[in-house]
Amino acid sequence: MALTDAEIRSQTAELEAEQIRLAGDEPMDEEELESIVAGLIEDAQDYIDQTEALDRNQANDYYQGRPFGNEEDGRSQVVDRTVRDTCSLMMPQIMRTFFGSEKVVEFQPRGPEDVALCEQATDFVNQVVLNQDNEGFSTFYNIFRDALVKRIGVAKVDWVSREEVEHEEYTGLDDQGLQALMSDPDIEGSSLESYPDPNFVPPPPQPPQQVSPGGPQPVPQANMEAPMLHDVVIRRLSTEGQITIEALPPEEFIIDRRAKGLLQDEFTICGHRRYLTVSELVSMGYDYEEMLELAGDEDSFGTNTELLSRNPLGNYADSLDAGEANKRVLYVEAYCKVDFGGSGIASLRRFCCAGSHFKLLHHSPVNDVPFQIFSGYKEPHLWKGSSVADLTSDLQKIKSSVLRSTLDSLSKSIFPDTWAVEGQCSLDDLSSNRVGKIIRTRAPGMIGEFSTSFNGKEAFPMLDYLDQVKEDRTGMSKASMGLDPSALQSSTKAAVSATVAASAAQLELLCRVFAETGMKPLFKKILKLLHTHQDKARMVRLRNEWIQVDPQTWNQMDISVNVALGLGTNEERMGMLAGLAAKQEAILEKQGPENPLVNFQQYHTTLAKMTELSGYKDVQSFWTNPSTYQAPPPPPPPEDTPDEIFA
């Protein structure tokens, strides 16, 4: 029978307590443990809310193009969008880099015996985990966008189990069938109705037999009673689980101010705080009355400036009366190292707390944290990096000031200031904006205009200079997108390629940092979760075939994770692969498939890469993999004709 989350937590606590007792150690008092964890959470919250949230809130304001607060009435209030424009240029190239091919990640074998398993793991993670069980594209889009604007994008990957209940009805089961059915461990409850078989026909009675002394014994009479049949309704409880990948809002992720990263020796505490309803917490196994009491606590997370900036109307829903079950509770899932067992060695544990005072609900030992931080501009020895907003926000403010002055000068030249002799003309007529108006004056020459020339053209070189500074900092320009005619016209192909490559160098570095420090450790966590929690094979469709995937066998693989990044443009890579394919074709044609340099499997790999670069993800629709190809059986021999038989 499947266990609930609460029963699993209870059994885990009992087992750990027994291990501590056998080791002879004294476990930490629960009140002391709660006090330590609450203090760490509160300190991490203060750091995020009072420091990081302010900077990220300002970065979001720049991204949204909100006013700076120094605007003057009657003057231009335009706001430049340098931060948003730069991020908008980066995002298509970043998403194409990671999601432009069929495989976001690849698991590479380090031995020939691991090739088949690595191919299966690669297909399963890319097709099933990312695209079927999760919305991979939109999730990583949010992660990368947060990293560009708010310094970090936080991914949370975890194994989530769900229970499914099905009712099944069976009629007319005999005793053996009933016994076989009820032996299923997934059956949680049943209702049974038994009755004699109505179609039973008793055998005719046998006449009595005379038995001589010492002779054979008579055969006993058959059972004259009808066998029993059973109608049963069962309740089958099945537990299914899958990997979930979630993009956390940056304000929901907490970490201590001295952290260097997410390895166990690099942080004191990290965690995920969020609001859950009383109903959601009860479904997780917590007590309803206790959660209802915690729902009334006032906490500081609701006034987080970053939360309010991202969703200004988010707290408006708190005033709606949706019933007690929908009341919100602050729920914190924290990870920190403490010496709970009293052995003198601190170990990583998971703590579940709720309410403004962080009441400890549950804690258990873990081996790793479910979070991964993405930051494109890494800072050495620091858990966070820089963002595009950090690099370009000053340029946005300067360009906004220049644009405002330019527009003010243009406005002055089109609508110059007017002077008038007081009392000698109608000020109402003078202040009217109606075309063809009549201005009443007492004498000629009582009004006039101050001639003002447009000086905004003097600011255009400054705007070009600021764009060049932005390009130097981020690598993003029209030339890198192939859209700048002044940079690309009348140039040789080599010069154009050099211009584009130089502009894209920083973006390639950004993607490589995302790949090595974000994608690679994240998918290692996914592989580990699959091996740990998926305890039975799963039937999935891979490469147009239905197969059973059992991650329990993947522990024998010696693998590395390779993010699908390449050097150069797609045209350059396509040209290189075309030349490689030509050489492979020549070798196969002259020396046959048994030559020592290339085989059909390697030639298929080249063709598959060329197909992926062309934009077609379904390689199987174009090329058959030689490793899965089965030759058709030979045709049967022709049957002999009657003339051949007699000949």
The predicted structure's pLDDT at residue 622:
83
In this prediction, what percent of the chain has a pLDDT beyond 70? 81
The predicted structure's pLDDT at residue 487:
46
Q: In 186-327, where do the E strands start and end?
A: 187-196, 228-248, 253-255, 269-277
pLDDT exceeds cutoff 80 at 141:
yes
DSSP 102: S
pLDDT exceeds cutoff 80 at 288:
yes
- Between 186-195, 203-212, 268-277, the lowest mean confidence (pLDDT) is in 203-212
Q: Averaged over 493-501, what is the pLDDT?
A: 56
Q: Of 86 and 241, which is predicted with more confidence?
A: 86
pLDDT exceeds cutoff 70 at 381:
yes
> pLDDT grade, residue 375 (50/70/90)?
very high
Tokens of 451: 């001639």
The predicted structure's pLDDT at residue 84:
93
Provide DSSP, 354-410.
ETTTTEEEEEEE-SS-SEEEE-SEE-TTSS-EE-HHHHHHHHHHHHHHHHHHHHHHH
- Between 208-222, 351-365, 391-405, 606-620, the lowest mean confidence (pLDDT) is in 208-222
Q: What is the pLDDT of residues 17-32, one digit of tens each?
A: 555 554 445 677 888 8
pLDDT exceeds cutoff 90 at 137:
yes
How far is Cα 407 from Cα 402, in angstroms, rounded to an integer? 9
The predicted structure's pLDDT at residue 19:
54
pLDDT exceeds cutoff 60 at 172:
yes
3-state helix, strand, coil in the chain (%, to 5): 45, 20, 35
The predicted structure's pLDDT at residue 144:
96
Q: Are 475 and 507 in contact (CB under 8 A)?
A: yes
Q: Averaged over 196-207, what is the pLDDT?
A: 73
Q: Of 83 and 300, which is predicted with more confidence?
A: 83
Q: Averaged over 512-540, what is the pLDDT?
A: 88
Exposure string of 609-647, with b = 16+ CB inside 10 Å and e = fewer, is bbbbbeeeeebbeeeeeeeeeeeeeeeeeeeeeeeeeee
The predicted structure's pLDDT at residue 225:
72
How far is Cα 240 from Cα 45, in angstroms, rounded to an integer? 35
Q: Averaged over 108-135, what is the pLDDT?
A: 85
| Helical (H) or strand (E) element with 334 | strand 328-338
In this prediction, what percent of the chain has a pLDDT beyond 90? 27
What's the mean pLDDT when you consider all of the chain? Answer: 81
Q: What are the angstrom distances between the C-alpha of 32 and each of 217, 340, 360?
A: 82, 10, 11
Q: Averaged over 224-248, what is the pLDDT?
A: 81
Q: Averaged over 121-141, what is the pLDDT?
A: 91
Q: Which residue has the tokens 């021999």?
A: 637
The predicted structure's pLDDT at residue 223:
56
Q: Of 507 and 489, which is predicted with more confidence?
A: 507
The predicted structure's pLDDT at residue 238:
66
The predicted structure's pLDDT at residue 166:
73
How far is Cα 227 from Cα 637, in angstroms, rounded to an integer? 58
> pLDDT grade, residue 647 (50/70/90)?
low
The predicted structure's pLDDT at residue 485:
47
The predicted structure's pLDDT at residue 22:
47
Q: What are the angstrom distances between the C-alpha of 561 and each of 112, 222, 261, 300?
A: 16, 70, 20, 41
- Between 92-101, 264-273, 325-334, the lowest mean confidence (pLDDT) is in 92-101
Task: Give the residue from 542, 556, 531 showing the smallest Cα distance to 122.
Answer: 542
> pLDDT grade, residue 148 (50/70/90)?
very high
Can you list the alpha helix ranges (DSSP code H) found in 167-277? 175-182
The predicted structure's pLDDT at residue 640:
56
